[in-house]
Amino acid sequence: METSQGPLDEVVARLRVTSTDLAQIEVKAAGGGLPKDIWPTVSAFSNAEGGLIILGLDEKHRFAVVDGFDATAIREAVSNGFRPRRSDEGAGPVTPRPIGSVDIAVVDDAPVVVVDVEALPAGQRPAFVTSQGKEAGTYERVGDGDRRMSTYGVFLLSTNVEQPRVDSEPVPGATLGDLEGALVERFVARLRRRRPRSVAGLASVEDILERHNVLASDGATPTLAGLLALGRYPQHFVPQAMVTFAVYPGTAKDVFVGEQRMLDRRVIEGPIPAMVEDVVRAVLQNIQVRRVVAGAGARDEPEIPELAIREAIANALTHRDYSPWALGDQVRVELFPDRLEIANPGGIWGGRRVVDLFSGTSRSRNAVLSALLADVPMLNSEEAVSENAGSGIPAMTGALGRSGLAAPRYVAHVTDLTVVLDRHGLLSPETGDWLASVGATDLDADLRRTLVLVHRGYAVDDQVLRAQLAMDSADAKQVLRRLVDDGWLQFPRRTDGAYRPGRRLDGVLRDQVALFPHADVRGHAPGSIDDRIVNALVNEGQLSVRAIAERLDTTVGALRPRLRVLVAEGVLIATAPPTSRNREYRLSSRR
């Protein structure tokens, strides 16, 4: 049986090797009936990227099947929790109604119930246990368990598609005198030079500042955006709207080198243009510089490009959450021997995911601040703090790629977002050792670089490769297709998702072989459902979804998501629209 986490037999093998639940896989014995704690897990999976629940296996006994497990009754009980409610019925166990499939499968010749939970659309979150209410009943997945989400997290999920207005609100107690006169003067001059229509008919500076939301409608009180962008010392009113900078001697915060826990520590304050420049300066003072030959001369280049550092910190300060829930936290810039991390409060706003950040489109949590910073100059140049055009992350990625470094890696949670910039190149001695350990040293350089990106946890798709490896989209798709065909990668789970490690990069099983030498986890697994779909069409030429399901001995529901992905990736061609009864599939000639 195919699941969102792979074939069920492979999922069970992985669980038995690791002897624990996993981040997106939860197992419950359910020998005495449907456990109540299934609904917090459904809530947690619905609020993230989805996940798999298997009922009828006993974690305490190495995930053996449970004697006397009533699969039919359990399936009915779970299905009842997922079904739509009539208007005269009360809400189900989880609100809003969860999305997913519930089916009976066979493990070790015994029935189990498989619940494949899909992520709820951003506009419908949070999913919460109805009887506990939204505040106490919203859960998130942490490691292999479910944890009640913080009030702040619930607030962020509830407002994730509503445009925040906090940056346009006046700051109590602030006056025009709290703005930096010289910076305001340069800002107004830039507007008159570059955007004359935006100041047309306005005689006074105050009128210009009000029109551009630096001042509130009273024409006298700075807005939060105006204070952050043009203030003398915004931290007088919002003390934590600052940056903390730290340099650590080891690869983790708790690593000491001798008596040293930190090599450098600074608090960086002021308006955003000043903080951006000061952070860039602090990072450059603490990283290595290399000498690069350029034509007849040579120049010094930092190991992380200055452009990438500047864009990363500008993005963090522009898009962090400035709501009252988050104003007790600051942006954190932390330098380790192998990487630079920049973390800001507030996850990815607007219902987007990590892979969407590389699309080159702009969507701002703080719309007023973002627009303002596109016209606010840096302290020591006429360049604006940001472009507000979605170009920041592509520019970072390009600068890193030209220096032989990996694309920026984003680690997103509901309440925070961290961008990681590597200090060392993709094909280093360390990554060379890893490539040798998986048998990939003979692959072409672009294929090896792609595998290293995946190995490091990057969300890789053709857009990331295009920027990172300086190739066009068609070539990037071809690289990914070759890696899929050879078993190194798998196609995304969704049409707009990232590629996943394939059977030859199954790190969990590979790493566990040495720990469990007698565990049979390295045998030849059957081909993935994508491989079997392709093979069926190679043999038959053109088939409907029901015909494919019959040949693969699976369900139409399990097939449809994979067919959507394969069509999106150009592997298959659909012969009719999705709503047509005559819709069939055949292989693309580009395959």
Fold of 2-149: 3.30.950
Topology of domain 527-591, CATH: Arc Repressor Mutant, subunit A (1.10.10)
3-state SS string for 441-454:
CCCCHHHHHHHHHH
Which residues is 139 bridged to in the sheet?
Answer: 148
- Give the pair of three-digit tokens for residue 475: 């070539």
| 104/114 Cα distance (integer angstroms) | 6
Q: Which of 323, 325, 342, 326 is nearest to 334 (CA)?
A: 342
If we measure between CA atoms, which residue out of 131, 111, 114 comes closest to residue 26? 114
The domain spans of the chain are: 2-149, 527-591
CB 313 within 8 A of CB 397: no
* pLDDT for the residue numbered 467: 64
* Cβ-contact 309, 245 below 8 angstroms: no
Residues in Cβ contact with 458 at an 8 Å cutoff, skipping those fewer than 6 apart: 406, 407, 409, 464, 498
Which residue type, as a one-letter code, is found at position 37?
A: D
* Token pair in block for residue 332: 């954190």
pLDDT of the residue at 456: 76
d(CA 214, CA 209): 5
- Give residue-wise pLDDT tens across range 125-164: 999 999 999 999 999 998 889 999 999 999 999 988 889 9
Q: Check: CB of residue 192 under 8 Å from CB of residue 393.
A: no
Q: What is the pLDDT of residue 532?
A: 85
- Whether the CA torsion 117, 120, 126, 129 is positive or negative: it is negative
Contact 179, 232 (CB under 8 A): yes
The answer to whether 333 and 340 have CB atoms below 8 angstroms apart is: yes
Q: How many CB atoms lie within 10 A of CB 240?
A: 14
CA end-to-end span of the chain? 26
Confirm if 424 and 416 have CB atoms less than 8 A apart.
Answer: no
Of how many residues is the chain composed? 591
CA atoms 25, 30, 34, 36: torsion sign: negative
pTM of the complete model beyond 0.85: no
- Cβ neighbors of 212 (< 8 A, separation 6 or more) are 191, 198, 371, 372, 375
pLDDT in tens, 52-100: 999 999 999 999 999 999 999 999 999 999 999 998 998 999 999 999 9
Token pair listed for 101: 């499939």
Q: What is the per-residue pLDDT for 73?
A: 97
Q: Which amino acid is residue 278, in one-letter code?
A: D
For residues 346 and 321, is the Cβ–Cβ distance under 8 A?
Answer: yes
DSSP for 513-544, written as a single string:
TTT-TT---SS-PPPPHHHHHHHHHHHHSEEE
pLDDT at 506: 66
Q: Which residues of the chain have pLDDT under 70?
A: 258, 291-298, 467-470, 506-527, 590-591
Percent helix / strand / coil, the chain, rounded to 5? 40, 20, 40
To which residue do tokens 């996940």 refer?
A: 51
